[in-house]
Structure 1
Amino acid sequence: MQIQQLDTTDPAARRAWHAVMEHAVRSDRPHALLTTYDAFEVVATSPRTYFERTWLQAVEGSEVVGVAELELPLEENRDVGWCEVDVLPEHRRRGIGRGLWDAVVERARQAGRTRLGGEVSVDLSVAGAGFAFATAVGAAEKHREDHLLADLPVAAGQVDPAYDVLTWRGRCPDEHREAYLAMRNQMNADVPTGELDLEVEVLDDARLAASEERLMKAYDVRVAAARRRSDGVLGGYSLLFVPHGTRYGWQDDTLVMPEHRGHRLGAALKCANYAGLPGDVTEVHTWTAPANTAMHRTNTALGFRVVEHMYEVEAVIA
């Protein structure tokens, strides 16, 4: 077996890497929400500004039997690396995952990182190998979220009469960017991280624009924002991604600013995004920390159900 770095200039090699990742993950996670090939292509072939990424593969003969990804933040959290290791089910328990892990650790150390983090998701009905592997390499659980799934359509949400809802797709309009940035940064500061010790990611306009441009290449990006009628102030937003060519949505952030809470804006914003989806989008995924009881209540009322537990784990590699 050889551990090789993916040649990101080779389209066939990129396609093979993604196919192995997809097969490995779906073998024990039927509800997995994966990076689509289109999204992988965008990341693998785009210049790196805020993150450095390396893709590795374990090769036997001419067959790719396992893959790994290492992401290194270049702004905040420069002591941390994020990684994922996936091995085809028929090749597990032969040291392939450990070989990929060791290669990831070596590269992370060379980049000055002292910690490696990652996400391990476990289906409620299928016992997967991911958590046992993470434990075996010395990673400890630091945070947990529930992966929830809802079938569309959902019941329409009522908007508080004191607010109206704005929607846009793709890039945030110029007239709302300052308020949108403030809300995005509030979300980054508020998001639960459990025992993870992380610096808060701070967005400025250039960083937001770079993210929007990259995401729009692979996703239909939809935002709903609540605007108070009395003064025009934006009080919350909900962000939804629909990967091109798929039948599902990925519910990302939903935030209501502190002074605007108590008006059921979170549910109204989610419903506004869902109502605008084409009819062939039939389900939506989201993640919520168990301790976030308010959002869990909102999600349950909309018809979301828990299908996986997601664990954020971390290993000290210094």
Structure 2
Amino acid sequence: MHIRELDASDPAARRAWFEVMDRSARADRPHALLEAFDAFELTVTEPGEHARRIRFEARDGDALVGVAELELPLTENLDVGWCEVNVLPEHRRRGVGRLLWDSVVAEARAAGRARVGGEVSVAPVDGGPGMLFAASVGAVEKHREDHLLLGLPLGPAAQAVVDPAYEVVTWRGRCPDEHREAYLEMRNQMNADVPTGELDLEPTVLDDARLASSEERLMRSYDVRVATARRRVDGAFGGYSLLFVPHGADIAWQDDTLVMPDHRGHRLGAALKAVNYAELPASIGLVHTWTAPSNTAMHRTNTALGFRVVEHMHEMEADLALLADRVPPEGR
């Protein structure tokens, strides 16, 4: 068994790496929402400026049996690395995951990182192999979110009802210039407010250039849909909801939904989500989202819309100072 970095210049190697990641993750997760290949290709062949990613592959002879990715933030949270380790089911419990983890840790230490975090998603009633592996390498839970699923179309009781004091403004793709200042304020409010449990993280701070770069990259892999609420009396924006539809897919991914503090109490969150869902093509049958159990208001909103919990997503973290030094495998 040997570990080496993915040759990002080799299209066949990229495809093989992606397929092992995808098959490994889906083996235990019937409701998994995973990165599509075109989005993966973009991050590998045209890396963004705010994070560096190192991808490892585990080979048994010529067979690719496991993969790992380490993401190193380059703007905020410079003491943290984020990782994902995936091993094909038929090759588990042979030390493959641990060898990949050792390479991740060695790379994170070399980059000056003190912590490595990652997500482990499991069925609500079963810890699953991912949790066992995370515990075995010294990671502890710092935060949890529920992964929820909604079938479309919405039922009659969940249709959009917008407070008459507000109008809904929607767009697809890039935020129009006339709304960008207000949209940036809302996005940064969301980044500051999002529940993170015991994770010690700096919030992402967007400016116009960083937002524009993010929009451009996302639009290459997703149909990006935004619904916002604007108060009629003064034109102040009170909230937004951000929805992604992977190109060619029959599902949608509900990302941020925020109501600004001075605009709460008008059921804007539910209305904005429902507006976005109503405008989706009929081919989109499912919406995925994630909500922290502590976010009771959004959980009530999601339940009223018809979402149901299908997984628990645990955010795990390993303090590298507490881990016993291990010699990384040869052949990287």
Give the TM-score band, short-chain normalised: over 0.9
Aligned partners of 1:30 and 1:123 also within 8 Å: no
Indicate the SS of the match to 2:275: helix
Q: Deviation per CA, 1:223-254, whole angstroms, max 9, x where unpaired?
A: 00000001111110000001111110000000
In the aligned structure 2, how far is the partner of 1:280 from the partner of 1:45? 30
Aligned length: 318
2:313 is equivalent to residue 305 of structure 1? no
In the aligned structure 2, how far is the partner of 1:107 from the partner of 1:8? 17
Residues 173-252 of structure 1: matches in 2 within 5 Å? Answer: 173-252=176-255
In the aligned structure 2, how far is the partner of 1:295 from the partner of 1:302? 11
Residue identity over aligned pairs, in percent, reads 71
Aligned partners of 1:224 and 1:239 also within 8 Å: yes
Aligned partners of 1:29 and 1:126 also within 8 Å: no
Of 156, 159, 176, 2:159 maps to 156
Aligned partners of 1:139 and 1:313 also within 8 Å: yes
2:88 is equivalent to residue 88 of structure 1? yes
Shift of 1:123: 1.7
Indicate the SS of the match to 1:129: helix
2:36 is equivalent to residue 36 of structure 1? yes
In the aligned structure 1, how far is the partner of 2:86 from the partner of 2:305? 33
| Aligned residue number for residue 48 of structure 2 | 48
| Aligned residue number for residue 134 of structure 1 | 134
TM-score by length of 1: 0.99
| Aligned residue number for residue 270 of structure 1 | 273
Indicate the SS of the match to 1:134: helix
Of 290, 296, 300, 1:287 maps to 290
Q: Deviation per CA, 1:5-48, whole angstroms, max 9, x where unpaired?
A: 11111111111001001110111100011011111011111133
Moved over 2 A (4+): 124-128
Amino acid at match of 1:68: A
Amino acid at match of 2:167: D
Amino acid at match of 1:91: H
Aligned partners of 1:121 and 1:310 also within 8 Å: yes
TM-score by length of 2: 0.94
Amino acid at match of 2:298: M
Shift of 1:62: 1.6
| Aligned residue number for residue 20 of structure 1 | 20
In the aligned structure 2, how far is the partner of 1:232 from the partner of 1:63? 59
* Structure 2 residues not aligned, in runs of 5+: 322-332
2:262 is equivalent to residue 259 of structure 1? yes
* Structure 1 residues not aligned, in runs of 5+: none
Q: Deviation per CA, 1:109-161, whole angstroms, max 9, x where unpaired?
A: 00000000000000236652101100000000000000000000113110000
Indicate the SS of the match to 1:3: strand
Aligned partners of 1:29 and 1:128 also within 8 Å: no
In the aligned structure 2, how far is the partner of 1:135 from the partner of 1:241? 32
In the aligned structure 1, how far is the partner of 2:119 from the partner of 2:127? 16
| Aligned residue number for residue 317 of structure 2 | 314
2:13 is equivalent to residue 8 of structure 1? no
Shift of 1:81: 0.2
In the aligned structure 1, how far is the partner of 2:215 from the partner of 2:26? 28
Shift of 1:200: 1.1
Aligned partners of 1:31 and 1:123 also within 8 Å: no
Amino acid at match of 2:117: G
Indicate the SS of the match to 1:68: strand
